Structure 1
Amino acid sequence: MATVALNPVAAEEKLGKLRSAVAQLDQISENEKNGFISLVARYLSGEAEQIEWSKIQTPTDEVVVPYEALAPPPEDLEATKKLLDKLAVLKLNGGLGTTMGCTGPKSVIEVRNGFTFLDLIVIQIESLNKKYGCNVPLLLMNSFNTHDDTLKIVERYANSNIEIHTFNQSQYPRLVVDDFIPLPSKGKVGKDGWYPPGHGDVFPSLMNSGKLEALLSKGKEYVFIANSDNLGAIVDLKILNHLINNQNEYCMEVTPKTLADVKGGTLISYEGRLQLLEIAQVPDAHVNEFKSIEKFKIFNTNNLWVNLKAIKRLEVDGVKVLQLETAAGAAIRFFDNAIGVNVPRSRFLPVKATSDLLLVQSDLYTLVDGFVIRNKARTNPSNPTIELGPEFKKVGDFLKRFKSIPSIVELDSLKVSGDVWFGARVVLKGKVVIAAKPGVKLEIPDGVVLENKEINSPEDI
């Protein structure tokens, strides 16, 4: 969170005015009002997490544990059931599909074989519950943007072998910069006057909604938190087993950084504790160093495992420190015995754009019991890089332009621009660039194999 340092008198004057205005907003709870005022107070005070660069240390394998070093989980069915009965899964479900040209929650975009993100999540947890006879519940943290739609969608899982609970994250008013008055106070009705304050809000929202207490009363000990659009974020018994045996209050999954991830937050050791370092905290002089994959080799996948009693302790016992964190990963520094686990890249498979959709709908992956499994025929551990032009940005347009998704098992990179249309059974290998000339429709015929080619016109095929 960026901050601005005002002198204390000016800051208090602005805050006093804001408190009065926020007190009149009857659309939100007292907890939300307090959380919002705290966040603004921190912004005005300039109290950012200033990092002294010279104090940064690379975490050891003891605190960022290599996944391969984790002990195997118990093979006994009953022991596995006991482990899983201590777990709840929470998916962050506040985002809309607007950037991909869809209406409603992003989690209802069809990913593969007609299944949405949410379908796959439900199938995965259902198959766990069935296989081990356990009861892993699913919680969906919605925003005011996705809440109503999600409630309707969840009804279709009424007969599933899974408990589904929904709750809303906080709703904060947007501020008018000039006079520091909340937009809703100026007569701005409707959703435009409000915003959901980042996924760091998961901890206070769990508490304020009563869901935290409900989970604890059912004997749950850990919650696995992940973005609903990360297809790689599945329950992992090795990690859960490790956390319970070692009494780690918090675990962040990190994975090796590639050039595509240079802006992602990383874990550092700082003054004896693990801490998330994000690009906004980095002094300008060190930004290139931060982006380098030599010094900072890992980044945060936002797959988090957190002890429920520890959340309650930090939320209830006075300090409410978690209220101020706008990213859930930033809270790692408040938990005792916190660790990172350096996981395989397969646990980070987000779908942020149609280029990602092309990957997961292709023969690079198959679907088994709701799990997206990578094709062993691909020998390169990295996925191909895919760049699609604006003509492919919306899911509807993307689907229209492919008669069927090409085979990309042997593809290194694909760059497509202009008015390009793909036939059925197309095979892409090596480095392929397809650039239609302005005003020209370029059709790739059925069954064609393109290997290390640049295509600008039909004659190049």
Structure 2
Amino acid sequence: MSQGNFTPFEEKMSEAGVMDAAIQAFRRNYEALCRNESGLIPEEEIDPAKDLPVYEDKGADFDPELLAKTVVIKLNGGLGTSMGLEKVKSLLEVRPGVNFLDLIVRQISSLRESTGAPVRLLLMNSFSSSDDTLGHLAKSAPEGLREASEVELMQNQVPKIDAATLAPAECPSHPEHEWCPPGHGDLYPALIGSGWLDRLLAEGVKYAFVSNSDNLGAVLSPELLSWFAESEAPFLMEVTRRTPADRKGGHLALRKSDGQLLLREVAQCPEGDLEAFQDIDRHQYFNTNSIWLRLDVLKKRLEEGGGVLPLPMIRNRKTVDPRDKESTPVTQLETAMGAAIECFEGAQAIEVSRARFAPVKTSGDLFALRSDAYEVGDDGRVSLIASRKGQPPVVALDERYKFVDALDDLGVPSLAKCDKLEVLGEVIFEDGVVIDGVASFGGEGKTVVSAGVYP
């Protein structure tokens, strides 16, 4: 692949107001693309990660002094388009009249009230999610958690690259298609480029807990905060045991050459190594996308790298108009937030229970979250009920329920004792349906499930 010309990208990004830190991060990845670096991590170069420390929730109390040095950052840039939404995903209701964003705010407010510590919250919004998020906060959030200047960290955008010419991709009919998100690895240039990193450090904030806004299992934990602070590690990744459902998810590994922990995403796996990548007995640990950062060490590491963390590049092949497969082929360059584990000497990982990993990626996930298998505390914490012992119910819904609006007609059975529920075709659960164990419903025509215990 020939050397491209970065000047048109730099000019385009500068004109769009993209911060310099993000431009330099994109430059690094673009130059790697031009050198025809694949970003692939072959199986022969890594060993499986083993015998990690295990997190235990002992019901400890928060240390107000540590809380005062902590910021909670939620990745909030995603829209729920795959679930039929035209707004930010965190505005999905978890309980009637209560959405993800409400619960996140309630968690922070409760911590502030119960400990007296000024726990900070940052929402990493995208250009697509900012207006919806700030509009909702203006109407519902308490003082100190409403304004952009108080809670918003803006995600950057980067140009798509014409796969044939390595020039910025063009789409005159829909210029917005010329841009794409840079992946959640953009957290680091966004923090430094926005000024938030310096501001937090100046306010005495030393620790950051980062997770996805659609993962209500990822809450600030007193045990993990204390463990991280005492470890003096610069970076901590929460991982959990892989299941067959996680075979395509990024896994933790050790680089043979230096013993450094690293994250390998499926896009970084050579095709010939996919079988080993998906071997959940070999590669046991799945990245939950919840991490802990020492902000002072991050600042130093960024300064050493000229404002850029050397995150591995991820190449994605797409078309400039995602809905038109005949449109111009493009390359989208991304980085993963968790991949920074290999950028910090002394970085660690810790195994957490599945209860801390409950993201809502499908309508089936939301259906389970809305059920009685989960409980919502007054402090905004959402957790599996104790009798489930950290194991969520598995819900597989028919394609007709792909969009969340369709759940309104499905009904709400009890899933407190459910191991797996499968819905095939049109089904209506009447009041009083209890799923105990494994059950499957549906077939041709409409299936109405009367009150009772199934199977």
| TM more than 0.5 | yes
For 2:46, give the aligned amino acid: I
Contact 1:129/1:161, CA 8 A, preserved across alignment: no
Cα 1:203–1:111 change in 2 (3 A) is: same
Aligned to 2:81: 98
Pairwise CA distance, 1:233: 0.5
Aligned to 1:181: 167
Is residue 2:193 matched to residue 1:208?
A: yes
Larger-Rg structure: 1
Pairwise CA distance, 1:39: 2.0
How many angstroms apart in 2 are the aligned matches of 1:168 and 1:30?
A: 10
Q: Which of 43, 65, 68 is the equivalent residue of 2:33? A: 43
Question: TM (normalized to structure 2)?
Answer: 0.87
Aligned to 1:412: 419
RCO comparison, higher one (Cα < 8 Å, 6+): 2
More displaced stretch, 369-378 vs 230-239: 369-378
Aligned to 2:158: 172
Is residue 2:436 matched to residue 1:449?
A: no
Aligned to 2:142: 159
Pairwise CA distance, 1:441: 2.3
How many angstroms apart in 1 are the aligned matches of 2:60 and 2:386?
A: 26
What pairs up with 1:250-289 in 2 under 5 angstroms? Answer: 250-270=235-255, 271-289=258-276
How many angstroms apart in 2 are the aligned matches of 1:294 and 1:93?
A: 32
Aligned to 2:114: 131
Contact 2:145/2:151, CA 8 A, preserved across alignment: no
Aligned to 1:197: 182
What pairs up with 1:106-117 in 2 under 5 angstroms? Answer: 106-117=89-100
Is residue 2:361 matched to residue 1:357?
A: no
Q: Could you report, residue by residue, the CA deviation over 1:21-78 in whole angstroms, capped at 9, with x for unpaired residues? A: 54155113362443333322212223244535344234454xx32214x9x7975x7x
Aligned to 2:432: 425
Gaps spanning 5+ residues in structure 1: where? 1-5, 452-461
Aligned to 1:311: 298
How many angstroms apart in 2 are the aligned matches of 1:383 and 1:373?
A: 10
Secondary structure of the corresponding residue to residue 103 of structure 2? helix
What pairs up with 1:305-384 in 2 under 5 angstroms? Answer: 305-322=292-309, 324-325=311-312, 326-368=335-377, 369-378=379-388, 381-384=390-393
Cα 1:353–1:449 change in 2 (3 A) is: same
Pairwise CA distance, 1:358: 1.5
Pairwise CA distance, 1:95: 0.3
Find runs of 4+ consecutive structure 1 residues off by over 6 angstroms: none
Cα 1:161–1:171 change in 2 (3 A) is: closer
Contact 1:410/1:429, CA 8 A, preserved across alignment: yes
Cα 1:314–1:411 change in 2 (3 A) is: same
Question: TM (normalized to structure 1)?
Answer: 0.86
Is residue 2:63 matched to residue 1:67?
A: no
Q: Could you report, residue by residue, the CA deviation over 1:225-271 in whole angstroms, capped at 9, with x for unpaired residues? A: 10000011000111111121121100000011111111121222222
Q: How many residues align?
A: 425
More displaced stretch, 84-93 vs 174-183: 174-183
Q: Which of 84, 96, 102 is the equivalent residue of 1:119? A: 102
More displaced stretch, 256-265 vs 281-290: 281-290
Secondary structure of the corresponding residue to residue 447 of structure 2? strand
Is residue 2:305 matched to residue 1:301?
A: no
Contact 1:120/1:370, CA 8 A, preserved across alignment: yes
Q: Which of 231, 236, 244 is the equivalent residue of 2:229? A: 244
Pairwise CA distance, 1:422: 1.9
How many angstroms apart in 2 are the aligned matches of 1:433 and 1:393?
A: 17
For 2:454, give the aligned amino acid: L
Secondary structure of the corresponding residue to residue 35 of structure 1? helix
Cα 1:193–1:281 change in 2 (3 A) is: closer
How many angstroms apart in 2 are the aligned matches of 1:29 and 1:407?
A: 48
Q: Which of 20, 27, 51 is the equivalent residue of 2:16? A: 27
Gaps spanning 5+ residues in structure 2: where? 313-334
